[in-house]
Amino acid sequence: MIIDDLTKEFKEEYGQNPRLIVSSPGRLDFLNTHQDYKGLPVVSIGVNLRSYTAIAERADDYCYVLSVNLKRERVEYKDVFKLTELELRSGKWFGNYLRAAVKSLIEQGYKVKGFNAAILSEVPIGGGLGSSAAFTVSFLGALNEIFSLNLSRKEIAEVAYHAEHDIMGIPCGRLDQYGSVFGGVIKIETRPPYNVEELP
């Protein structure tokens, strides 16, 4: 089971069990591909493939992250950064999504501390299922819970969007982030105030 695998990897890496595990789904774009870029309404359908983040607090301001997927591919799979040093690495480094998410939270006044984290995702990269959003949203969900940030679902989606679009400079709409946060079948208005309607 994926949660057991993630817990095992976390304990092997950090010598402790995670405090909690949070997951977020990938999503399908129902007939509206790229319409969110134009500010038009879109419909997202959550899929039964999820990204999981296990996390525990640290006593310092260091952030350690393990990608179980990259470990299994036998490529560089660990990232370490300080809360005061959140510069992005060059290239398509997985840790940039997490650094940007933390930076987005701090810029908006949220108090984040050091942590150990491990992430394992079932959402295939490049499969059109919003893998990067599911990855970022599950991570933000874990931070939200462990540090009692009291973010609403919409606020998590906006932090994830700000991280990917504004900090990382990736051209994206809001479909992926909102679709991963809310799951299910939803209609998203991609103009302010970004209303979400949950559909039957």
Beta partners for 51?
24, 121
Predicted pLDDT of residue 33: 67
Predicted pLDDT of residue 173: 84
Q: What is the pTM of this model?
A: 0.94
Beta partners for 117?
55, 65
Residue 181 token pair: 């946060």
- Taking the chain (200 residues) in consecutive chunks of 10 residues, what is each chunk's mean pLDDT? 96 98 94 75 94 98 98 96 95 95 97 98 89 97 98 98 96 92 94 90
Q: Are strands 115-121 and 62-67 parallel, antiparallel or unpaired?
A: parallel
Mark 99-128 as b/e (b = at least 16 C-beta within 10 Å): bbbbbbbeeeebebeebbbbbbbbbeeeee
Q: Compute φ and ψ for 164, nearest 5 degrees.
A: -80, -45
* Catalytic machinery residues: 176
Predicted pLDDT of residue 150: 98
Domain boundaries in the chain?
Answer: 2-25+51-172
Predicted pLDDT of residue 101: 98
Predicted pLDDT of residue 14: 98
Is 2-25+51-172 a domain of CATH 3.30.230.10?
Answer: yes
Taking the C-alpha atoms of residue 105 and residue 118, their distance in angstroms, rounded to an integer, is 19
Under 8 Å between Cβ of 164 and 97:
yes
Residue 171 token pair: 């051209």
Predicted pLDDT of residue 40: 84
Predicted pLDDT of residue 200: 79
